[in-house]
Amino acid sequence: MNNQKIKNIIESLSNIKSNEFFKKICIALGNAVNADYVFIATLDDRRTTATSLAATHKGLIIDGFSYALKNTPCSKVANESLCTHSENVQQLYPDDKLLVDMGVEGYVGVPLKTCEGRVDAILVALFDNTISHIDEVETLFLLFSGLIEKELHKVASSKKIEFYKYIVEKSHDAIIVCDQNQFVTYVNPSFTRITGYSQSDLQGKTPKILSSDKQSEAFYQTMWANINENGHWQGQIWNKRKNGSEYLEWLSITSIFDEHSELTNYIAFFSNITEHYEAKEKIKYQDSYDALTKTANKNKLFQFIEKSISENHSPHKITITAALLVIDLDLFQKINGLYGYVFGDKVLIHVANTLQSLIRNNDIVSRTSGDNFALFANNIKDRESIVLIIDKITNAFIQPILIDGITIKITLSIGIACYSENATDAHGLFEKAEQAMFFSKDNGRNSYEFYTQQLSDEAKKEEELKKALELAIENNEFSLVYQPIVSLKEKSVSKFEALVRWDNNGSCRSPAEFIPAAEKFGLIKAIGDFVLNQACKELKILKKKGFTDIVFNINRSIYEFPERAKENKWIDTIQEHGLNPRDICFELTESVLAPENDNYIALLNKLQLAGCTIALDDFGTGYSSLSYLRRFPINVLKIDRSFILDMTKEKNGEVLVSAIISMAKALQVNVVAEGVELKNEVDILTRLNCDFIQGYYFSKPLKPEFISQYLIDFKL
Ligand code: C2E
Ligand code: CA
Ligand code: CA
Cis peptide before 420 (omega within 30 of 0): yes
- Contact 512 CB / ligand 1 (< 6 Å): yes
Say whether both 615 and 488 belong to one domain.
yes
Is the pLDDT assigned to residue 1 strictly greater than 60?
no
- Contact 531 CB / ligand 1 (< 6 Å): yes
Beta carbons of 142 and 66 less than 8 angstroms apart: no
- Contact 196 CB / ligand 1 (< 6 Å): no
Domain containing residue 396: CATH number: 3.30.70.270
Q: In what order do the strands lie in the sheet with 232-240?
A: 184-187, 174-179, 263-272, 246-257, 232-240
Say whether both 46 and 148 belong to one domain.
yes
Beta carbons of 256 and 265 less than 8 angstroms apart: yes
CA 511–ligand 1 middle distance (angstroms): 7
The atom of ligand 1 lying closest to the CA of 560 is 44
Please report which confidence band the pLDDT of residue 473 belongs to, taking 50, 70 and 90 as the band edges: very high
Burial class (CB in 10 A: 0-12, 13-18, 19+), 213: exposed
- Contact 590 CB / ligand 1 (< 6 Å): no
CA 607–ligand 3 middle distance (angstroms): 20
Signed CA dihedral, 349, 351, 354, 355: sign only: negative
Q: What mean pLDDT comes out for the span 111-125? A: 93
Which residues are paired to 554 by β-bridges? 498, 586
In a domain, 475, yes or no: no
The atom of ligand 1 lying closest to the CA of 697 is 18
Say whether both 515 and 616 belong to one domain.
yes
**Which residues, 6+ apart, have CB-to-CB distance to 295 below 8 Å?**
289, 352, 355, 356, 365, 366, 367, 373
Say whether both 303 and 241 belong to one domain.
no
CA 588–ligand 3 middle distance (angstroms): 9
- Which of 397, 432, 451 is the last residue before a domain boundary? 451
Please report which confidence band the pLDDT of residue 623 belongs to, taking 50, 70 and 90 as the band edges: low
CA 703–ligand 3 middle distance (angstroms): 19
Say whether both 571 and 533 belong to one domain.
yes
Domain containing residue 11: CATH number: 3.30.450.40
CA 651–ligand 3 middle distance (angstroms): 23
DSSP letter assigned to residue 639: E
Q: Which domain holds residue 299?
A: 289-451
- Contact 699 CB / ligand 1 (< 6 Å): no
Say whether both 268 and 368 belong to one domain.
no
The atom of ligand 1 lying closest to the CA of 587 is 2
| Per-residue pLDDT tens digits for 442-467 | 888 899 999 999 988 988 888 899 99
The atom of ligand 1 lying closest to the CA of 480 is 41
CA 640–ligand 2 middle distance (angstroms): 9
Say whether both 154 and 185 belong to one domain.
no
- Contact 515 CB / ligand 1 (< 6 Å): yes
| Per-residue pLDDT tens digits for 530-579 | 999 999 999 999 999 999 999 999 999 989 988 777 888 999 999 999 99
Q: How close are the terminal C-alpha atoms of the chain, in Å?
A: 155
Map 37-96 to HEC letters.
EEEEEEECCCCCEEEEEEEEECCEECCCCEEECCCCHHHHHHCCCCEEECCCHHHHCCCC
H helix or E strand, kind and range, residue 267 = strand 263-272
Residue 472's closest CA among 505, 498, 520? 505
In a domain, 603, yes or no: yes
- Contact 511 CB / ligand 1 (< 6 Å): yes
- Contact 618 CB / ligand 1 (< 6 Å): yes
**Which residues, 6+ apart, have CB-to-CB distance to 166 below 8 Å?**
none
Q: 298-312 vs 274-288: helix axis angle to the nearest 10? A: 80
Beta carbons of 126 and 14 less than 8 angstroms apart: no
- Which of 435, 451, 467 is the last residue before a domain boundary? 451
Please report which confidence band the pLDDT of residue 149 belongs to, taking 50, 70 and 90 as the band edges: very high
pTM of the predicted structure, to 2 decimals: 0.55
- Contact 701 CB / ligand 1 (< 6 Å): yes
- Which of 405, 430, 451 is the last residue before a domain boundary? 451
In a domain, 574, yes or no: yes
Using CA atoms, how far apart are residues 587 and 192, in angstroms rounded to an integer? 81
Say whether both 574 and 520 belong to one domain.
yes
- Contact 329 CB / ligand 1 (< 6 Å): no
